[in-house]
Amino acid sequence: MAFWSNWFGGAKPPSASLHASFQDAGGGIVIATSQQLEEALRAGNVTGSGATVTPNRAMRVAAVYACVRIISGAVATLPLHIKRWVDERIREDASDTLIWSVLRRKPNRWQTPSQFRRMLQAHLLLRGNAYAMIVRSRGLVQELIPLHPDRVAVSQADDLTLDYLYTRADGRRIKLSQDEVFHLVGLTLDGVHGVSASGNPACHRHRRHHVLRLEQDRVCADPLQ
């Protein structure tokens, strides 16, 4: 009887707590409703074939890697001058200031200025934003600590100031004010959030190209799939 009841309407509906979800290895997004799925497809996080294009996965494409490497390397080697005004028409090097040492000699305890600038430029190209926490002592900048864009959430308050929420690797969340964060914004539509090239709907054709290249590499690696 249980067999026939399953065929003729006796099957139990699926539990309401179960839902389809998608999350890539880099953190990604969780999709629980059809509306969220449509928004993800329109935003480029998930393609029609089910493949995903994230900044980390896009870097597996040789063309993307080469572009990011060349542009970031060029920015890292550009001269960076710190000047002060002597009068209305004359400026001079401010090499005796602490900020000059931070930007030109040692931005933090483990990176050189070239490494720091190359990293932030790569974040800017791939994710549309680059962040660094400003460490001060007695009002003077001591260090610039890079923050991964995927772990930073930025919002604008009613008084137009910006608030930042950074999630550490251990899951702890830290609130930072606007004067505590060095924020580089790429192409932006609201003046606050940068637009990621890999998730921009205007780059749909390039995104499909990257997906095809990645899928070709996957199939070639295992032709029996």
Q: Using one digit for the tens of pLDDT, what is the confidence trace for 67-77? A: 999 999 999 99
Domain ranges, residue 176: 30-205
With respect to residue 64, please indicate whether it lies within any of the assigned structural domains: yes
Tokens of 47: 């393609």
With respect to residue 5, please indicate whether it lies within any of the assigned structural domains: no
With respect to residue 224, please indicate whether it lies within any of the assigned structural domains: no
- pLDDT, one tens digit per residue, over 178-211 is 999 999 999 888 889 998 765 555 454 455 555 5
With respect to residue 23, please indicate whether it lies within any of the assigned structural domains: no
Tokens of 51: 């493949």
In the chain, the number of structural domains is 1
| Strand runs labelled E in the chain | 83-85, 91-93, 129-137, 140-147, 152-156, 162-167, 173-177, 181-185
pTM over 0.95: no
